[in-house]
Structure 1
Amino acid sequence: MILTVLFYLFIAVVAIQFLYYIVFFSKFSFYKAQKGTPKRIPISVIVCAKNEAENVQKLVPLLAEQDYPEFEIVLIDDASSDETLDLFEAFEKQYSNIKLVKVENNEAFWGNKKFALTLGIKAAKYEYLLFTDADCYPTSNQWIKEMTGHYTQQKTIVLGYGAYEKIKGSFLNKIIRFETLLTATQYFAWAKMGKPYMGVGRNMAYKKEEFFRVRGFMDHMKLRSGDDDLFINQAGNGTNTAICYTTESFTYSAPKTKFNAWFNQKRRHVSTAQHYKGFDKFQLGLFYCSQLLFLILPIILLSFQFQWIIVCSLLGFRYLFSWISLGLAAGKLKEKDVMYFYPVIEFVLILTQLNVSITNLFSKPVHWK
């Protein structure tokens, strides 16, 4: 009796997975990237940095060399204790379109990136904003042009792709990039369906009016993370949100190289997702529960050889359609190599996510530097 129940539950799980990978994710996976219409709107590029001296030395010249007619670069130093501020001041003298915002330690908002970003947004000269992180860099000098090309009168939020560098011979690097691919496939697909629920601060854009419409970060200011995903979860909708995933629009950043560092990063992301809207928490929870059950149920059923032919057929069917869906997405996002190890990477990632959820029940993750 129990095995029969588990068997039908497994069938339901595969059906749910089919719904996500083929019905939902196909909105991104099966469609070509659309070029935006070139714009000449003035842009404020905003970068917030805290103790990022080594990274900003590389980033700022790349931003200054962007092929775009009119833009400023707003550099925010969030009370750094290294040479970040010195470098920003030197860049301010070197480039005429750089504006420097210095954030002093504030007892009420100490160490809160959202406070620093708010000051930078208010200081920005232009209405249209484009964001990246200090440890990122654009893949081309067309980054501003590509991202702003998706702004329209209705589309006032643009979600981009923030990729991670490839590290040859690193299995952890493949796991990190696979997770980034899966996450991007999800938030791009849901945005295409009119239900945007997150974006990444490594690469996103929005108008000032959207920021002030939802009172900025005030509703979640006490949470150290969420300046990107919680903001989009609150401000984004089917009318105002566009996506951009042309190759020239990507940004890259260095991934974690130690498992513990990546694990702690995931803990922060998961803790933030608990504050999403109810529907978004439900659909994400349903997807990850179905992922976990897809691993557990066939092991139980096959260990008793219960309907093993059907179980094996469903396993093969599920891996086929998920491989196709994610493989197409990987092609768009230049992550094809991670799909060669797909079943193994997925297995490790699902177990890691379970471990993260359990760990977060007993302790709070650390945020912002």
Structure 2
Amino acid sequence: MIIFIFISIAYLILMISLIYGWQQIPEFSPDFSPKETGFSIVIPFRNESENLPVLLNSLADLQYPAHKFEILLVDDASEDNSVKSCKEFQEKHPHFRIKILENERRSNSPKKDAISTGIEIAEFDYILTTDADCIVPKLWLQVFNDFIIKDGYSLIAGPVSLFSSESRKNMKPFRVFEELDVLSLQAAGAGAFGMEQAFMCNGANLCYSKNAFFEVDGFSGNNKIASGDDVFLLQKFQQKKYKVNFLKSKEAIVQTQAQKNFRALVSQRVRWAAKAPAYKSLFSKLAGVIVLLMNVGLVLAAVLALMEIWPYYPVLIIFLLKFNFDFGLLYLSAKFFKREEVLRSYFWSSLAYPFFSTYVALKSLISGYEWKGRKFRS
């Protein structure tokens, strides 16, 4: 019980720190500075024929001079009509600089290889990555341009949310659970940036200097891990003392598809958890261990309380403290993304999350996962 209390204290301190970090980042709005920055938008894809047309249509609506950006679509051995969709888009928009590339496989990480394939021929100074199942906002490039001109960052992590076309009443329980989880990850990631201890970002909305990418030797050193094209690159930039920041701007929010079912959600989270042991940042490792021990501890404490081995009231008090501090961080994120309505499902999600998190952590240690039709070992 004493150990669990110390873990709980450490967890609460972590949550307070992340809340403080989030609030340290001012919200940014575009000031429509001169459009000076050139962007190479790199989009890896594999079997995304259903999603690519939606993404490509959003790219067609970008309010930025066509000669100041290019779109690099990198096919990772698709077996559907993905390439056909890209070619049709290319034909309909001859005024855009669009290239359709074949992924050059050279490591155990297809996505890192695909991004590297695009970067190697990129013509502009800044790389912007997103995923094939996303939608980008109209002012996407304008906001990044203004942010870069203002402070000259080498890496900028952008906000990501799930598609919000459904009302909460029509959402399946796992879909609401997933959105709450994404909101918490966004808040934690941004909060760490605000603390100047950044360790997490999302490749669905990530911008960085091409020169800096080459100076840190790209994705080398992490090629054996299938995922992590975002967080490992962030950590390499930090090791080199490059300027990094989180772009807290509503005009920069990229929306991504939710997972199709609960099994897919678990598989995605296992993939994310599998890369955690390779983190270089001491803060990221410490934060990960604290969060894991807190969730595992709550599960064990609940079992022991039900068996009347532990008194239930200290467990209940700790849960309520965690419940309230987690809600504080989550509320800030939900308010920013204008998704306060999903907080109505927070209570049952907070009960389920320790069990979900513990299961994902254990599964990431003992089994592999499937991603884009391929199987990987953790």
TM-score strictly above 0.5: yes
1:35 aligns with 2:32: no
Give 1:202-281 correspondences, 5 Å limit: 202-236=204-238, 239-279=242-282, 280-281=284-285
Contact 1:176 1:255 in 2 (8 A): yes
1:141 aligns with 2:144: no
**Which residue of 190, 193, 202 corresponds with 1:191?**
193
Contact 2:109 2:225 in 1 (8 A): no
Deviation at 1:92, TM superposition (A): 2.2
Deviation at 1:312, TM superposition (A): 4.6
SS at structure 2 position matched to 1:79: coil
Count, aligned residues:
361
Corresponding residue for residue 45 of structure 1? 41
Deviation at 1:157, TM superposition (A): 0.6
Corresponding residue for residue 361 of structure 2? 357
Contact 1:75 1:98 in 2 (8 A): no
**What are the superposed Cα offsets for residues 23-67 of structure 1, whole Å, 9 maximum, x if unpaired?**
233211576523355442122222111121221112112112211
**What are the superposed Cα offsets for residues 239-275 of structure 1, whole Å, 9 maximum, x if unpaired?**
5111113222111122113111111111111112221
CA distance in structure 1 between the partners assigned to 2:58 and 2:339 by the alignment: 23
- AA in 2 matched with 1:193: M
Q: Return 5+ residue gaps in structure 2 as ranges.
A: 374-378
**Which residue of 152, 160, 167 corresponds with 1:162?**
160
- AA in 2 matched with 1:241: V
CA distance in structure 1 between the partners assigned to 2:313 and 2:351 by the alignment: 22
CA distance in structure 1 between the partners assigned to 2:236 and 2:290 by the alignment: 21
Corresponding residue for residue 129 of structure 1? 127
Corresponding residue for residue 376 of structure 2? none
CA distance in structure 2 between the partners assigned to 1:89 and 1:259 by the alignment: 33
SS at structure 1 position matched to 2:42: strand
SS at structure 2 position matched to 1:54: coil
Q: Return 5+ residue gaps in structure 1 as ranges.
A: 1-5
- AA in 1 matched with 2:13: L
CA distance in structure 1 between the partners assigned to 2:123 and 2:316 by the alignment: 60
CA distance in structure 2 between the partners assigned to 1:23 and 1:109 by the alignment: 37
SS at structure 1 position matched to 2:198: coil
Contact 1:157 1:236 in 2 (8 A): no
Deviation at 1:111, TM superposition (A): 7.3
- AA in 2 matched with 1:264: S
Which piece of structure 1 moves more, 87-96 or 40-49?
87-96
CA distance in structure 2 between the partners assigned to 1:339 and 1:309 by the alignment: 26
Deviation at 1:302, TM superposition (A): 7.9
- Cα pair distance change 1:330/1:29, threshold 3 Å: farther
1:18 aligns with 2:12: yes
**What are the superposed Cα offsets for residues 197-220 of structure 1, whole Å, 9 maximum, x if unpaired?**
121111111110221121111211
Contact 1:67 1:141 in 2 (8 A): yes
* TM-score, normalised via structure 1 length: 0.88
* TM-score, normalised via structure 2 length: 0.86
CA distance in structure 2 between the partners assigned to 1:31 and 1:156 by the alignment: 17
Deviation at 1:102, TM superposition (A): 2.0
- Cα pair distance change 1:207/1:38, threshold 3 Å: farther
**Which residue of 61, 76, 84 corresponds with 1:86?**
84
Identical aligned residues as a percent: 21
Contact 1:225 1:367 in 2 (8 A): no
Deviation at 1:330, TM superposition (A): 1.6
Deviation at 1:170, TM superposition (A): 1.0
Corresponding residue for residue 3 of structure 1? none
CA distance in structure 1 between the partners assigned to 2:291 and 2:103 by the alignment: 42
Deviation at 1:147, TM superposition (A): 2.9
Corresponding residue for residue 171 of structure 1? 173
CA distance in structure 1 between the partners assigned to 2:45 and 2:309 by the alignment: 56
